[in-house]
Amino acid sequence: MRHSPAEAQFAHRLRRVTRRELLRWTGAAGLGLASVARIGTGAEAAAMSGPMSMSALMAGAKKEGLQLHAYGMPPDWANWQGIFDAVKSKYGITSIYKPEGDLSSAQELQKFEAEKVHPIGDIGDVGFQWGQVAVQRGIVQPYKTSHWSSIPANLKDPDGYWVAEYSGVMSFAVNTARAKKIPQTWQDLLDPSYKNMVTIDQDPRQAFDAFAAVVSAAYANGGSIADVQPGIEFFAKLKKAGNFIPVKAELASMQTGEAGVAIRWTFLNLADRDTVKQKSGPAYQVVIPSDGSVASPYVSVINKWAPHPNAARLFQEYLFSDAGQLGLLQGYAVPVRMKELTVPASMAAKLPPASSFSKAVYLTDLKALAAAQQVVKDQWGPKVMG
């Protein structure tokens, strides 16, 4: 049976402190010195956490049967389908990811843990804060790809247990058939012409991008991640005005037109805008609000008990390579190694201007996130929903 949560937390904190201290003593910034950290920490998957050679990974993956089982990575999210297809053609690894793409971050981690005696899932994509949760509960194994050093320190776990792959920015997708004018700011949304139009991804107490919408509204109204109250009050105002409706902002509601203004991550809004247009639905225009937009990275984790760990590592190697990162960009996600990429002109033309991204506030402070989420949990029901 599993050991008590308290023990697990304690054991992991001890391991991490030891390694971090070692890194500090060696005067390194934790880049490429994983090998030093490995010395003296004893038996662990830490030995595997440094980048492995491609040949070793391929050999291992072949022994595993060239299969990869991914949770929480649906095909139409940040172009996962394109990336899985590329991994298949490059390494011959068949990925199973479609039905389980529906799992949320909490569900992915719970499923990894519940099935650990007879594990099925290998890799998952979870929200930023879930990386740490996964580490504390001892559910994931570390791996640092060969591109580890080019990823900023605050976007990865120092021991390699999780690493940010891409992020999105809060945006409005506006149904141009229903909305006569395009809102450019959060304040614009209060206009009566947007009656019964404004939607988010359901419940900010449950869906992260809905929560991010509330935080963005907070920034636009004098608040911040440390003070999300203005965001909650803004949505209460929006609801009272009759503009905010509790419809899920998703492809289906964009296609029916029920979501007059869909507030979600850019990579979801932009991709769905294209799909809707392709399927002769309403024309949507995607705008990043100028007065408040937050961004949050999503991180990749490998199941501690993964049956195909080498396939998972190979996947990560591809994902963080230029090709993989451009694949994410094709899905309109902002890849974590964006600054180092040479973006082909054709792709650059399809993205919103870089200036709109530059003002986005990155939500990477876990403590502040947790506190803000507690406020939303307590206040959203009574204040907004009534």
Partner 1 sequence: MIQRIVLVLFFAYLLLPITGVLHFTLLDGTRVTAAHYLQALGDGEFQAYIVHSLALAVATVAISVSLMTFTAFWVHMRAPALKPLLELLSFLPFVVPAVTLALGLIEIYSRPPLVLTGTASLLTFAYVVLALPFTYRAVENGLSAIDSRTLSEAAQSLGAGWWRRFITVIVPNLWPGIVSAALLTFSLVMGEFTLALFLVGSAYETYPLYLNEVWRSDPKYGAALAILSFLITWGSSVLILGASRRAPGQVQGAVLK
Partner 2 sequence: MIAAAPRDGPARAARRARAGRAFATGAGLVPFGAFVILFLLLPGAQMVVGAFIAQDGRAGLANFARALAPQYLNAFRTSIAISVETALVGAVVGTVVAYAIVHGEARRRQAFVITFCTVTSNFAGVPLAFAFVTTLGVVGWVTVFIQAVFHVNLYNDLGFAIYSYYGLVLVYAYFQLPLMVLLAVPAIAGLRREWREAAQTLGAGAWRYWRDVGLPVLAPPLVGATALLFANAFGAYATAYSLSSGAINLVPLRIGTLINGDVSFDAGLANALGVGMTIVIAAAILIYQGANRRSRRWMR
DSSP letters of 24-75?
A: HHTT--SSS-HHHHHTTS-SSGGGG-SPPPHHHHHHHHHHHTSEEEEES--T
Which C-beta is closer to partner 1: that of 248 or that of 337?
248
Which C-beta is closer to partner 2: that of 148 or that of 267?
267
Of 67, 104, 224, 290, the one binding partner 2 by CB under 8 A: 104
Which C-beta is closer to partner 1: that of 138 or that of 160?
138
**Both structure tokens of 309:** 């760990």
Q: How many helices (H) and strands (E) does the chain have?
A: 15, 12
User: If phi over 0 gives left and psi between -120 and 50 gives alpha, with beta otherwise, what is residue 204?
Assistant: alpha
Binder of residue 36, out of partner 1, partner 2, none (CB less than 5 to 8 A by kind): none
The verdict on 195 binding partner 2 (CB under 8 A) reads yes
DSSP letters of 113-151?
A: HHTTTS----EEEEETTHHHHHHHTT-EE----TTGGGS
Question: Residue count at the site for partner 1 (CB under 8 A)?
Answer: 28
**Both structure tokens of 383:** 């204040």
Residue with tokens 């995607």: 286
| Interaction mask 217-256, partner 1, x per CB under 8 A | ---------------------------------xxx--xx
Which C-beta is closer to partner 1: that of 255 or that of 290?
255
Q: How far is the CB of 89 from partner 2 (least distance, A)?
A: 31
The verdict on 4 binding partner 2 (CB under 8 A) reads yes
Of 207, 314, 326, 360, the one binding partner 2 by CB under 8 A: 207
Which C-beta is closer to partner 2: that of 124 or that of 289?
124
The verdict on 99 binding partner 1 (CB under 8 A) reads yes
Question: In Å, how far from its chain's centre is CA 386?
Answer: 30
Q: How far is the CB of 38 from partner 1 (least distance, A)?
A: 31
CB-CB contact of 372 with 232 (8 Å): no
Binder of residue 377, out of partner 2, partner 1, none (CB less than 5 to 8 A by kind): partner 2
Of 80-88, 244-252, 336-344, 351-359, the segment contacting partner 2 by CB under 8 A is 244-252
Which C-beta is closer to partner 2: that of 145 or that of 199?
199
Q: How far is the CB of 76 from partner 1 (least distance, A)?
A: 5
Binder of residue 339, out of partner 1, partner 2, none (CB less than 5 to 8 A by kind): none
* Gap between the Cα atoms of 138 and 8, Å rounded: 7
The verdict on 376 binding partner 2 (CB under 8 A) reads yes
What contacts 24+ positions apart, CB below 8 Å, involve 58-63?
A: 58/91, 58/310, 58/314, 59/310, 60/309, 60/310, 61/91, 61/93, 61/308, 61/310, 61/311, 61/314, 63/310
The verdict on 258 binding partner 2 (CB under 8 A) reads yes
**Both structure tokens of 351:** 């993205």
Binder of residue 102, out of partner 2, partner 1, none (CB less than 5 to 8 A by kind): partner 1
Q: How far is the CB of 8 from partner 2 (least distance, A)?
A: 9
The verdict on 157 binding partner 1 (CB under 8 A) reads no
Burial 303-318 (b: 16+ CB within 10 A, else e): bbbbbbbbbbbbbbbb
215, 139, 6, 136: CA torsion to nearest 10: -40
Of 77, 112, 211, 234, the one binding partner 2 by CB under 8 A: 211
The verdict on 368 binding partner 2 (CB under 8 A) reads no
DSSP 158: T
What are the DSSP E strand ranges found in the chain? 67-71, 94-96, 123-127, 140-141, 163-175, 198-200, 244-248, 261-265, 284-287, 294-303, 334-335, 361-362
Q: How far is the CB of 321 from partner 1 (least distance, A)?
A: 26
Q: What's the alpha-carbon Rg for the chain, to the nearest Å?
A: 21
* Gap between the Cα atoms of 346 and 148, Å rounded: 28
| Interaction mask 132-171, partner 2, x per CB under 8 A | -x--------------------------------------
Of 33, 45, 106, 338, the one binding partner 2 by CB under 8 A: 106
Contact positions toward partner 2, by CB under 8 A? 4-7, 9, 104-107, 110, 126-127, 130, 133, 178, 195-197, 202-208, 211, 242, 245-248, 252-253, 256-258, 260, 373, 376-378, 380-382, 385
